[in-house]
Structure formats: C-alpha cells, structure tokens
Chain A
Amino acid sequence: MTISSAELLSLYRQMKTIREFEERLHVEIATGEIPGFTHLYAGQEAIAVGVCSLLTDDDYIVSTHRGHGHCIAKGCDVGAMMKEIFGRSGGLCKGKGGSMHIADVTKGMLGANAIVGGGPPLAVGAAIACKLRGNRSVSVAFGGDGSSNQGTVFEAMNMAVVLNVPAIFIFEDNGYSEHTGAAYAVGSRDLAGRARGFGMPAEKVDGADVFAVREAMARAIAHAKAGKGPAAIEATITRYYGHFEGDPQNYRAKDEVARLRDTMDCLKRFRARVAADGSVAAADLDAIDGEVLALIDRAVIAARADAPPAPAELTTDVYIRY
C-alpha cells in the first residue's frame, strides 16, 4: 500500500493532535476546571487515525466513552471539541453533550457513547443506509475489549452478517475494562475469533502501528464495498491513563505504563519507521509538533474564554417540534 509523503505527514499530525489534546486535558482536568468524567485516548491514536484516514465525510463512525481520538480523526473541530469538554456554549454540542457525547453528524461522526456496547447497533443502522445507497460508503463501530462482552455487540455483529451490510467492527483491546483486566474479563481473549464466529472476516493487528491498522482497514473497506458484508479488526494496544481521569490505576503494575510508553508508542514507532526509510524528514515532524501544541493551546484559551450555555438552553433541542 503506497502512501505519499503528504499522507504520511497527515497521519502524524492527526496522531500528534490527539496525543496533545489528551495530554493537555490530563493537565487541565487536574486543576478542577473541567466538570465531570473524562476518559483519555492517549496511547491508542494509531487505531483511530489508521481507520479514519481511509474514510470520508460520507462514511460513518460510532464511538465510545473514550471517544476524543475518534472524533478528531473523523474531522471534528478541535476547538469546538475543547469547548464542549469545558461545557461551554460554543462547544460542538453547545455544551449539552460533554466529553462522552461529542458528535458531528455532518462529518459522519454519529457520536461518542457513554453506554459500553451502545454504539455497534447504531453502526449497523448507518450501514443499512450505506447499502441502500449502493455500498459506496461504510459504517464503522469502535469498541473495546470491554464492549466485546456486551450482548448488543453480538447482536450487532450477527445482524450485520444477516443483512450483509458494509459495517466494520474495530475492537481496541487496551487491556482493561475499566478497572478489570481483559485477561480476566474476556473469555478466550480472541476478539477477532468472536467476529469470525458470526461469519465475517477478521484480522488482528498491532494497534500501535498506524500502517498495519491502515492496511487492515483498507482490506475491510474493500470487502465491505464489494458487497460482501461486514468485517472486523482486533487491534492490541494500551491506554496511557486510567479508565477515567483521577483513576489511581492501582490495578496496573507500577512500571507498566512507563514500559509501554517506551515500547508501544505509535508516535515513536512512526518516527522510527519514516527515519529508517527516509520518507519524511524529522524536521517536518518537529514542525508539526510545534503547530499542534499551538493549536491545542489556542483551543484551551478559547474554551476558557467561552461563555457557558444560556439558561434557556436547558429545555431546547429536546424535540424538533412538541
């Protein structure tokens, strides 16, 4: 799968944007200024970016409670996302959704979802729409090792096979369902095998390798657009932070995160690969680093300055007409 240097830079910029968005939130949340629960995607960037880099606004995704990365990779505005997470009126959802409900239907982003396993049935529905329109687009359900145990996910996979729709199920096995290890909670730990059991092709990839994710996704898309129905990808990965911000992570060995940050980091892997084959200059990546940091900085400043939603917003948008 050939990839232009412009595309390479774009992949890196997307991953770096997600990383810095989350690293900055980690800092800002500690100050107490951001209300509610936040679940950070840091560490898993190569999966969202590898998958979404092959999608357009006509393709759909449904996300999870850990959804910032999927949103950014699918094209949601970073500034409006930051305002949303701060609970401000200029947020992507006017401050009424919050971190776990960021959506932008115009970008094909059908919502982060605070119910584990809530999204895959929705993705099957969007895939029905894709099929009616001639399988020119696909619908992607992101989920984790945790949601792989939900009955709704089984129902969704089976129905996608039965209806032969272009749905693609992405399982991000980050090792933990909240505070419980996947080694305990996921029988067989073979998520691709589960998907195959429902009658769709499935592969396992290294979730820290954006190229591997992208190539697997390209095969899944080709399969779905050929009218052959759904496919699944199991991507092994880790998360750098807790289930939610403030989680002391006492269920993880003391050196686990530090070790994985060293050995399983998608940005380091990317840099090593492009340095080895000479496809992108390190200076270009350094320049992106600076631009991304400035972007996130501007987003936080703007979010902080933005007004909270007006009281009248409490009861608007419940219905279109009532």
Chain B
Amino acid sequence: MPQISFRDAINQALHQEMERDSRVIVLGEDVSGGAGGTSGTRDAAGGIFGVTKGLLPRFGEGRVLDTPISESAIVGAAGGAALAGLRPVAEIMFADFVGVCMDQIYNQIAKFRYMFGGKSTCPVVIRTAMGAGMNMGAQHSQTIYPLLTAIPGLKIVIPSNAYDAKGLMIQAIRDDDPVIFFEHKALYPRKGEVPETAYTVPFGEAALVREGDRATVVAIGRMVVFAEKALDALAKDGIACDLIDPRTTSPLDEETILESVENTGRLVVVDESPPRCSVAADIAALVASRGFHFLEAPVQIVTAPHAPIPFAPALERLYVPGPQRIEAAIREVLK
C-alpha cells in the first residue's frame, strides 16, 4: 500500500470527491492562490499548507474559489451554498480564526436544520488547521475543538493519521450534517499507508490503536502520536494499555471508552487543549458518571495549562503535553 502524508491524504480525498460529485466546491483564502498577482500564476499556494494544491487546475475557478480574507463571509457563503444544494468544503486557514466567524458557525449552519423543523440540509465541511508546536504564537496555534464540540448540530472530526484523515474527509463531504474538520499542523508531513481508492471512516467509531489491560488511554489528534511514544516506553517495563483514538469528538464513541475502562479500571485522557471544559474533562465526566464503579484509581487528565500559547520555543515545549507527561500520568494511575 502506498505511503503518503497526512496532507496528501486529505488532498487525495478532496480530488476524489470533487471528481465524483460536481456539487462539491472548495472555498477559502488562498485555497488556490495567486489571483490578482503580478506573475499571473494560479494555484500559487494550494492552501498555505498545500492541502488544496492542484484542485484549481483540475476543477476550475467555478468550483475552487479563492476568497478575500473574510471568514464570516467564507463560512456564511458555504452555509448558503449548502442550503442551495451544493456541498461546500470551506477552509478557515487557522482554527484560531473561528473567533472571527463564530456566528456563522454556531448560530447559522449548526442550527438551520433544527430551526427549520428538519426541512433543510446544510452539508458543509469546514477544514481548519490547528495545534501548537511550530512557534506560531497565541493566535495561530490553538486546538479550539472543545468550543465547537459543545455545540449541538455540528460534527467534530479530529484525525490523528493519514489513513483516517482521508477516510474521515470523504465521510465528511458525503455527510449531510455540518462538519468541522480539524487538521493538526504537525501531522501534515507524517506518512502512513493510505489506499488509493476512495473509502470512508465512519463518525462516532473510535479506533483502538493499542491493546492492553493495565489502563485506558484516550488521546485526541496529535496526542495519539505522543501517547504511542509513551506506551512504547512503558512497554519496556511490560506495561500495556488500551489506546483509544475517538477520531470524532461529536459524535463521541462513549461505549468503546466505557468498555475499555470496565476492563482496565484506570483512565488517562490526553488533550492538547487547556483543561477547563475540555474534551478531556468531558470524557473524564463521562466515565465518572457512567463508569465510576469500574474505576480503581482517580482519572488523570493530561492537558495544556490554563494559559494562552506562548511564542518562545522554551515555553511552547512546556505547553504541549508530551510523551513524558503522558507516561507519568499512566504510571500515576497504575499506583
């Protein structure tokens, strides 16, 4: 099976779905790039991370729309186009910019179906790059999926590897509900085995990445990679744990988490977001309320601190939960 990057896996999904369904359009800042420039070169960017590269030459300006830097209009246009029968994939360049267009996300696209009595569909995908680790500072590095996971009407997708990224993106485009698709910037170059043919990964079905009966580790996005490193270190001491990657935080595969905790009796949740009202807190609450009798130790959550993301590399390294902190948390629940 071909090894391709997380970035190319999403790019392939976009190509295949645009080929399959002429209703699929892509819009956002620099999704092609170069319009209005003096060189006359189009597809000059293909998205600043290259995820939408090649779409404009293949599908043309009618379906690949470079927009001004107007996040509210980007998301709103995607919502209106979806109500009018298209299947837009909008890009919000950095997840932090969701703050600029929050109304269109949570008051508009998330609620149309409910407010309109179930008589509309709004099949929008909003792709957005997130995550710390590249010294991009407090306004270009956040993992704000907890905010959006809390909103009824949205589906929240957070892939951790190239295979899932492609399958989840194809599912997102074919899904009839609005989907927010978070792409961790640090994962873009990471390669994995990805079939060339189109396939879907269903929402609400967690992946059991590792198996082991000592503890349950739930990790999200890039944290899955770090949790695997922590488990590699623990394996040297003969400690094996379940590692669960929820893949979507809304819907959340509660049953897989609860079944695992029933087996292990111990839970560690790893989330790159700050701790308050985080997905980590949400999963800890889930197990406290529905799996308390399984627990043999207090739940550990491993998160970023309750602080904005610092610029200085020395501080940012401390901000992001890393393999050592995860390993320590697992050892703690095993005490």
Q: Do A and B come from one complex?
A: yes
Complex partner residue of B84 from A115, A120, A129, A152, CB under 8 angstroms:
A129
How near does chain B come to A152, taking the closest CB pair, in angstroms? 5
Complex partner residue of B107 from A91, A115, A139, CB under 8 angstroms:
A115
Given A105-B119, A317-B118, A124-B73 contact (CB < 8 Å)? yes
**A230 near B: Cβ within 8 Å?**
no
Interface residues on A, range: 35 or more
A87 to B259, CA, bound (A): 42
Mostly helix, strand, loop or mixed at chain B's interface? mixed
A131: B residues at CB distance < 8 A: 62
A152: B residues at CB distance < 8 A: 72-73, 76, 103-104
Complex partner residue of A121 from B76, B120, B152, CB under 8 angstroms:
B76
Contact flags (1/0) for A164-188 with B, using CB distance below 8 Å? 0000000000000000000000000
**A151 near B: Cβ within 8 Å?**
yes
**A132 near B: Cβ within 8 Å?**
yes
In contact, A111 and B116 (Cβ under 8 angstroms): yes
A96: B residues at CB distance < 8 A: 114-117
Binds B, one of A15-23, A31-39, A154-162, A267-275: A154-162
Q: Which B255-278 residues sit within 8 Å CB-CB of chain A?
A: none
In contact, B119 and A110 (Cβ under 8 angstroms): no
In contact, A97 and B115 (Cβ under 8 angstroms): yes
A97 to B107, CA, bound (A): 12
Report the nearest B residue to A113, measured CB to CB.
B108
Given A111-B112, A115-B108, A122-B83 contact (CB < 8 Å)? yes
Report the nearest B residue to A104, measured CB to CB.
B119
**B121 near A: Cβ within 8 Å?**
yes
A133 to B270, CA, bound (A): 47
A-B pairs under 8 A by CB, number: 157
Interface residues on B, range: 35 or more
Given A122-B108, A132-B62, A156-B76, A101-B85 contact (CB < 8 Å)? no
How near does chain A come to B54, taking the closest CB pair, in angstroms? 20
**B interface with A by C-beta (< 8 Å):** 25, 27, 62-63, 65, 67-68, 70, 72-86, 88, 103-104, 107-108, 112-121, 152-153, 155, 175-177, 204, 251
A142 to B38, CA, bound (A): 37
Q: Identify the interface centre among A114, A124, A130, A131: most chain B CB within 10 Å of its CB.
A: A124
In contact, B68 and A121 (Cβ under 8 angstroms): no
The 4 closest A-B pairs by CB, nearest first: A121-B76, A125-B80, A122-B80, A93-B117
Report the nearest A residue to B108, measured CB to CB.
A118
How near does chain B come to A250, taking the closest CB pair, in angstroms? 30
Given A115-B108, A125-B81, A319-B155, A93-B115 contact (CB < 8 Å)? yes
**A216 near B: Cβ within 8 Å?**
no
Report the nearest B residue to A130, measured CB to CB.
B84
- A to B CB contacts below 8 Å, 11 in the list: A105-B83, A105-B116, A121-B72, A122-B108, A124-B73, A129-B85, A129-B86, A139-B80, A151-B72, A155-B73, A156-B76
